[in-house]
């Protein structure tokens, strides 16, 4: 990492256990090129045992930050020097940012979703039905809470996981959050403004069907999916056919990258350039 050239190569990266970050690398580097930044985003395979050494190494080598994916999202916290607001509530980090000489943990999963959601609706004061209570749903729910939604109904198959998330939203954010255990076809409440598939149902399976009573989806509701491959999931297609406003999971992924680049570089990258690069890397 030499600074002997007359331009500086700043480094950010992705710490994951496998080589699953490649489309993200292409997307982030496309933004760097587009905006004339002499930065690199590199994929680094890090085992759980070596995470602490890797974080200290990134700091020693002058990294401006990095993303981290499973299984590092929780364990990385022990190696950081502070947490952003939503990361502190959800106790999970997917984006580390150097601020001064400190590595601070942020979570851009939910922020990416929110940025994408805001292109179609302002969530403040709205009623949300969120299917799922795993990592993605948790990140989304916390950001929605911080954005001032009126109510969140968590619908989850596992009661324990759903209750834990609803409890976190009530205790940490004083939110009107309730759990409905998912058994059979779920009828979405009439007053819902935003319906979100935060589960992995539909990932790599365009035929997979979310157990929802389709007739409970009303025209004008926003129907959002976290699943990004396929981009047009069966849930989104069926919701659009009922008059809902569809929002795909690729927008969440792109905007996570947008937020990360904003944190690391201070610039506001062009999401359209990033989406095109991501689509071409994913072949979608």
| Catalytic sites, residue numbers | 73
Q: Does 68 bind ligand NDP (CB under 6 A)?
A: no
Q: Does 170 bind ligand NDP (CB under 6 A)?
A: no
Nearest approach in angstroms of CB 251 to ligand NDP is 8
Residue 188 to residues 24, 160, 182, Cα–Cα distance (Å): 34, 21, 11
Is there a contact between 224 and 247 (Cβ–Cβ < 8 Å)? yes
What SS3 state is found at 151? strand
CB atoms within 10 A of CB 95: 27
Q: Residues 198, 250, 280, 35: what is their CA dihedral angle, to the nearest 10 degrees?
A: -140
Q: What is the largest CA-CA distance in the chain?
A: 64
Nearest approach in angstroms of CB 59 to ligand NDP is 26
What is the rounded distance in angstroms from the CA atom of residue 6 to the CA atom of residue 8? Answer: 7
Exactly one of 249, 257, 269, 271 binds ligand NDP (CB under 6 A); that residue is: 249
Exactly one of 31, 87, 136, 236 binds ligand NDP (CB under 6 A); that residue is: 136
Q: Does 132 bind ligand NDP (CB under 6 A)?
A: yes
Exactly one of 151, 161, 178, 242 binds ligand NDP (CB under 6 A); that residue is: 161
Exactly one of 147, 203, 231, 284 binds ligand NDP (CB under 6 A); that residue is: 203
Tokens of 223: 């129907």
What is the rounded distance in angstroms from the CA atom of residue 162 to the CA atom of residue 155? Answer: 7
Exactly one of 15, 129, 226, 278 binds ligand NDP (CB under 6 A); that residue is: 226
Nearest approach in angstroms of CB 227 to ligand NDP is 5
Exactly one of 21, 65, 105, 112 binds ligand NDP (CB under 6 A); that residue is: 112
What is the rounded distance in angstroms from the CA atom of residue 22 to the CA atom of residue 19? Answer: 7
Compute the radius of gyration of the chain from its Cα atoms: 19
Nearest approach in angstroms of CB 259 to ligand NDP is 11
Exactly one of 11, 169, 201, 221 binds ligand NDP (CB under 6 A); that residue is: 201
- In the block, residue with structure tokens 């939503």: 86
Is there a contact between 271 and 35 (Cβ–Cβ < 8 Å)? no
Q: Does 156 bind ligand NDP (CB under 6 A)?
A: yes
Name the residue nearer to ligand NDP (CB basis): 11 or 114.
Answer: 114
What is the rounded distance in angstroms from the CA atom of residue 210 to the CA atom of residue 227? Answer: 12
Q: Does 260 bind ligand NDP (CB under 6 A)?
A: no
Q: Does 282 bind ligand NDP (CB under 6 A)?
A: no
Helix (H) or strand (E) holding 34: helix 22-34
String marking each residue 227-246 x if it binds ligand NDP according to CB under 6 A: xx------------------
Binding site residues, ligand NDP, CB under 6 A: 109, 112, 132-137, 156-158, 161, 182, 199-201, 203, 226-228, 249, 252-253, 256
């Amino acid at each position: 990492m030499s600074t002997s050239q007359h331009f500086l190569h700043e480094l950010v990266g992705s710490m994951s256990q496998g080589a699953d970050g490649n489309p993200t690398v292409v997307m982030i580097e496309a933004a760097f090129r587009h905006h004339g930044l002499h930065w690199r985003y590199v994929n680094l395979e890090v085992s759980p045992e070596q995470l602490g050494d890797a974080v200290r190494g990134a700091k020693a080598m002058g990294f401006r930050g990095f993303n981290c994916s499973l299984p590092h999202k929780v364990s990385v916290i022990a190696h950081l020097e502070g947490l952003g607001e939503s990361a502190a509530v959800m106790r999970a980090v997917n984006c580390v940012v150097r601020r001064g000489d400190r590595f601070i943990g942020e979570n851009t999963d939910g922020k990416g979703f929110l940025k994408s959601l805001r292109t179609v609706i302002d969530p403040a004061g709205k009623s949300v039905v969120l299917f799922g209570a795993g990592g993605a749903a948790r990140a989304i729910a916390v950001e929605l809470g911080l954005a001032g939604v009126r109510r969140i109904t968590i619908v989850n198959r596992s009661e324990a996981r759903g209750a834990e998330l609803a409890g976190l939203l009530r205790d940490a954010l004083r939110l009107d959050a309730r759990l409905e255990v998912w058994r059979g076809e779920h009828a979405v409440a009439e007053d819902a403004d935003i319906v979100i598939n935060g589960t992995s149902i539909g990932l790599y399976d365009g035929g997979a069907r979310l157990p929802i009573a389709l007739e409970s989806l009303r025209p004008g509701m926003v129907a959002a999916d976290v699943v990004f491959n396929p981009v047009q999931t069966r849930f989104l297609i069926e919701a659009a056919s009922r008059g809902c406003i569809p929002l795909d999971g690729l927008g969440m992924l792109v905007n996570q990258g947008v937020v990360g680049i904003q944190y690391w570089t201070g610039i506001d990258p062009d999401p359209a350039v990033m989406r095109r690069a991501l689509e071409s890397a994913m072949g979608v």
